[in-house]
């Protein structure tokens, strides 16, 4: 069925029409290994292509080639019939092609506005015209629904806020073609809806868009045409309205595939983690909950509600002002990450690049980093030990890619698995997962969900923080909903409907938060959750 669909829309060249950005035969190899094979993509003005594919399929490589960041080994590109050969990103921008990176790159010390206009800061009487960039930056930020003050430094902003800035930066170039490489991976529902609204507006203005995401409903919602890559080769393309989610998955993985959330096995009555009165001035207050052994405990709420801050404090990454933490019934003093780890608390942080992985070191070294003492004998750690430990986890988590090259050169989803592997070397008592499936494909998501459930079944208390409501609700026994730094309620699985959770998440939110859009998302949640539970 996939094949027949493919024929219906492959019309581009047939018409001899050269309008738009046309890529023919793109190929790329790394270390002698082909990662992109003869890929043709035709992006028409005003068209939105949804680019899908498993982790490592070559989506980011394709976009990097189009944006002049990496050079293809073969193939050619034209824009409106004129050869387009970007040697560097600035060439791409000159030709009206902008890329929103999967990995956000900002200069933390510079202001938001400076980051947006970096490289082309307007001057007045020889100095940067701050008023102008601040005003213009504010306009572009508002387009994506961001309330961030353009004058503040980027340092300290959440990833979601940075992602919005990254998008504003691309928009400020007024490009004719934009590639969004997994923007929603770092955004909450509300922010994503703003981005969609913006994409619709751009499309109206005749901008050609490539949108990459692992959230397939989202892709269907936003794209006109769906293009799928597998193992670096083009599988086909389809009108978005004619392909179902299951067919998309099948095209990605190359076989039938059922995506389902099974209900977790009941938790035990033993308490694994007990938190009382946890507070941190100005950030969150009065957090009280227990996680049982074998329980998956979800944290829901909007981006900025304080979920990440709470779990970071429990793991020792930040310090609480008040409160008590007990692990397996014993009070523990957690002053820093090491004492957290020693107490049996492991945390997979949300910011893979800034906090999770050292991108210049190999995957194996990253995985064993916290455990080198445990893995050494007579105080000596050997490369062999590091490699063998990492390889076991590679098999366990189905990491696809080499672990002896810098982890930064793995695809995004595989980096996420390496990050997870790092915290599974030693079985923790409490495993905290902050956005555990950021940028992970459907198959890998299933693997990660099953791993989480399997870990819980061995008696680990698991905490899952996720902005994907479907994910928290699908996984958890109970869900704690936060808003504005406060704990609003703890819902049992049966009561944790998307409506109930969203209502709580939106309660008492300070005025400046964008309130309208998540409501739109609700109906959709309901259906997806329903389909997944049966």
Partner 1 sequence: MAIIDRNMTPPRPDSSPAHGEVAPTSAASVNTSRFRRIMSQIPGPLIGLIVIFVALSFLSPYFLTPRNLLNILSQVSAVGVMSVGALLIILLGGIDLSVGSVLALSSMSMAAMYKMAGWPFEVALLAGLIVGALVGLINGILTAYGKLQPFIATLATMSAAAGLALFITNGNPITGFPDWFIAITATSILGIPIEGVILVAIFAIAAFWLKFRPSGRALYAIGGNEEVARLSGLPVRRAKILVYTIAGLLAAVAGLLVTSRLDSAQPTAGAADLLNVIAVVVIGGASLSGGSGSLLGTFVGLLIIGVLNNGMSLLNVSANLQPVVIGAVIAAAVLTDRKSSRRHT
Ligand X SMILES: Nc1ncnc2c1ncn2[C@@H]1O[C@H](COP(=O)(O)OP(=O)(O)OP(=O)(O)O)[C@@H](O)[C@H]1O
**In the window 456-515, what residues touch partner 1 (CB under 8 A)?**
458
Q: Which two tokens stand for residue 441?
A: 């494909």
Restricting to residues 68-107, name those near Mg ion by CB under 5 A: 102
The counts of H helices and E strands in the chain are: 19, 22
Question: Rule CB under 6 A: is residue 443 a binding residue for ligand X?
Answer: no
Which among 19-27, 143-151, 369-377, 510-518 is the span making contact with partner 1, rule CB under 8 A?
369-377
What would the two tokens of residue 236 be? 């086909």
Q: Which does 427 bind (CB under 5 to 8 A by kind): partner 1, Mg ion, ligand X, none?
A: partner 1
| Site membership for partner 1, residue 257 (CB under 8 A) | yes
When asked if residue 58 is in the footprint of Mg ion (CB under 5 A), the reply is no
Between residue 397 and residue 436, which ones bind Mg ion under the rule CB under 5 A?
412
Task: Name the residue with tokens 């930020």.
Answer: 141
Residue 425, binding choice from ligand X, partner 1, Mg ion, none, Cβ under 5 to 8 Å by partner class: partner 1
Going by C-alpha positions, the residue among 403, 413, 397 that lies closest to residue 448 is 397
74 binds, among partner 1, ligand X, Mg ion, none (CB under 5 to 8 A by kind): none
Residue 393 · residue 424 · CB < 8 Å: yes
Q: Closest approach of Cβ 156 to partner 1, in Å?
A: 13
Least gap, CB of 411 to Mg ion (angstroms):
5
Instruction: Please identify which residue in 68, 304, 344, 401 interacts with partner 1, judged by CB under 8 A.
Output: 401
Interactions with partner 1, residue window 432-451 (CB under 8 A):
441, 443, 446-447, 450-451
What's the DSSP call for residue 406?
B
Nearest to 271 by CA among 461, 428, 431, 479: 461
Can you state the angle between helices 442-457 and 383-397, rounded to 10 degrees? 100
Give the nearest distance from C-beta 401 to partner 1 in angstroms.
5
Alpha-carbon dihedral 311, 317, 322, 323, rounded to 10 degrees:
50
| One of 95, 237, 411, 437 touching ligand X (CB under 6 A) | 411
Contact between 60 and ligand X per CB under 6 A: yes
Instruction: Kindly state whether residue 414 participates in binding partner 1, applying the rule CB under 8 A.
Output: yes
55 forms part of the interface with ligand X (CB under 6 A): yes
> Quick check: helix, strand or coil at residue 239?
strand
Indicate the residue among 193 and 389 with the shorter CB distance to partner 1: 389
The residue among 442 and 473 lying less far from ligand X, judged by its C-beta, is 442
Question: Least distance to ligand X from the beta carbon of 167, Å?
Answer: 18
Q: Dig out the tokens for 259 from the structure.
A: 């995506």
Residue 255 partner contact from Mg ion, ligand X, partner 1, none using kind-dependent CB cut-offs of 5 to 8 Å: partner 1
Is residue 152 part of the contact set for partner 1 (CB under 8 A)? no
User: Is residue 237 a contact residue for Mg ion (CB under 5 A)?
Assistant: no
Does 95 bind ligand X (CB under 6 A)? Our answer is no
Burial zone of 20 (CB within 10 Å; 0-12 exposed, 13-18 middle, 19+ buried): buried
Span of 84-92, 110-118, 141-149, 373-381 interacting with partner 1 by CB under 8 A: 373-381
- Start-to-end CA distance of the chain, whole Å, equals 25
Asked whether the beta carbons of 137 and 113 are under 8 A apart, the reply is yes
166 belongs to the binding site for partner 1 (CB under 8 A): no
Q: Which does 372 bind (CB under 5 to 8 A by kind): Mg ion, ligand X, partner 1, none?
A: partner 1
Among 100, 424, 465, 504, contact with partner 1 (rule: CB under 8 A): 424
Burial of 244 (0-12, 13-18, 19+ CB in 10 A): exposed
| Residue number with CB closer to partner 1 (130 or 392) | 392
Q: How far apart are CA 364 and CA 386, in angstroms?
A: 6
Give 212 or 327: the residue with its C-beta nearer to ligand X.
212
Establish if 186 lies at the interface with Mg ion (CB under 5 A): no
- Can residue 57 be called a binding residue for ligand X (CB under 6 A)? yes
Q: Which of residues 363-402 bind ligand X (CB under 6 A)?
A: 401
> Is 54 near partner 1 (CB under 8 A)?
yes
Residue 132: count other Cβ atoms within 10 Å of its Cβ. Answer: 15
Residues 417 and 64: their CA atoms lie apart, in Å, by 22
Which residues, at least 6 apart from 311, have a Cβ–Cβ distance to it below 8 Å?
299, 347, 432, 434, 463, 465
Shortest CA distance to 478 belongs to which of 452, 460, 459, 501? 501
Single out the segment in contact with Mg ion by CB under 5 A; choices: 23-31, 60-68, 356-364, 488-496: 60-68
- Choose from Mg ion, partner 1, ligand X, none: what does 213 bind? Cβ within 5-8 Å by kind: none
| Interatomic CA distance for residues 526 and 423, integer angstroms | 33
Nearer to Mg ion, 180 or 284 (CB): 180
44's tokens: 């028409």
Contacting ligand X (CB under 6 A), which of 1, 25, 30, 507? 30
**Torsion angle, alpha carbons of 238, 244, 249, 254, to 10:** -60
42, 47, 60, 162: which one contacts Mg ion (CB under 5 A)? 60
322 torsion bin: left (phi>0), alpha (psi -120 to 50), beta (else): beta
Binding mask 377-396 for partner 1 (x = CB under 8 A): --xxxx------x--xx--x
């Amino acid at each position: 069925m996939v094949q027949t669909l493919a024929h219906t829309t492959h019309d581009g060249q047939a018409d001899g029409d050269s309008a738009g950005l046309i890529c023919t035969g793109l190929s790329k190899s790394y270390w002698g290994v082909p990662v992109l094979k003869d890929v043709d993509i035709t992006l028409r003005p005003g068209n939105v292509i949804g680019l899908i594919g498993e982790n490592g399929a070559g989506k980011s490589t394709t976009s990097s080639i189009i944006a002049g960041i990496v050079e293809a080994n073969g193939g050619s590109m034209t824009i409106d019939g004129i050869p387009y050969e970007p040697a560097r990103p600035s060439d791409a921008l000159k030709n009206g092609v902008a890329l929103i990176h999967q990995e956000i790159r900002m200069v933390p010390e510079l202001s938001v506005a400076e980051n947006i206009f970096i490289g082309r800061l307007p001057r007045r009487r020889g100095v940067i015209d701050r008023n102008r960039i601040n005003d213009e930056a504010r306009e572009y930020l508002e387009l994506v629904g961001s309330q961030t003050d353009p004058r503040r430094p980027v340092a300290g902003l959440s990833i979601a806020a940075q992602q919005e800035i990254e998008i504003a930066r691309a928009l400020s170039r007024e490009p004719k073609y934009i590639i969004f490489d997994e923007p929603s991976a770092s955004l909450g529902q509300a922010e994503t809806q703003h981005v969609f609204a913006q994409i619709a507006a751009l499309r109206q203005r005749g901008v050609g868009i490539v949108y990459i995401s692992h959230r397939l409903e989202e892709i269907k919602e936003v794209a006109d045409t769906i293009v799928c890559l597998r193992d670096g080769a083009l599988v086909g393309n389809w009108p978005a309205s004619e392909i179902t989610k299951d067919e998309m998955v099948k095209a990605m993985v190359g076989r039938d595939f059922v995506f389902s959330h099974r209900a977790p096995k009941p938790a035990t009555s033993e308490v694994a983690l007990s938190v009382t009165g946890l507070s941190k001035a100005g950030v969150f207050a009065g957090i009280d909950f227990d996680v049982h052994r074998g329980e998956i405990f979800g944290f829901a709420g909007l981006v900025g509600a304080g979920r990440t801050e709470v779990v970071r404090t429990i793991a020792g990454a930040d310090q609480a002002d008040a409160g008590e933490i007990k692990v397996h019934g014993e009070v523990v003093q957690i002053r820093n990450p090491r004492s957290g780890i020693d107490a049996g608390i492991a945390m997979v942080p949300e910011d893979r690049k800034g906090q999770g992985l050292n991108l210049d070191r190999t995957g194996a070294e990253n995985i064993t980093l916290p455990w080198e003492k445990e893995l050494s004998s007579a105080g000596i750690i050997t490369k062999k030990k590091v490699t063998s430990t990492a390889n076991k986890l590679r098999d366990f988590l189905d990491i696809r890619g080499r672990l002896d090259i810098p982890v930064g050169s793995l695809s995004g989803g595989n980096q996420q698995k390496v990050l997870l592997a790092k915290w599974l070397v030693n079985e923790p008592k409490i495993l905290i997962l902050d956005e555990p499936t950021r940028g992970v494909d459907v198959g890998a998501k299933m693997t990660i969900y099953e791993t989480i459930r399997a870990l819980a079944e061995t008696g680990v208390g698991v905490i899952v923080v996720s902005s994907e409501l479907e994910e928290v609700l699908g996984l958890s026994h109970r869900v704690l909903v936060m808003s504005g730094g406060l704990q609003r309620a703890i819902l049992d699985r049966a009561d944790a409907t998307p409506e109930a959770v969203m209502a709580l998440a939106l309660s008492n939110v300070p005025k400046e938060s964008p309130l309208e859009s998540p409501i739109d998302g609700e109906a959709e949640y309901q259906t997806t959750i329903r389909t997944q539970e049966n």
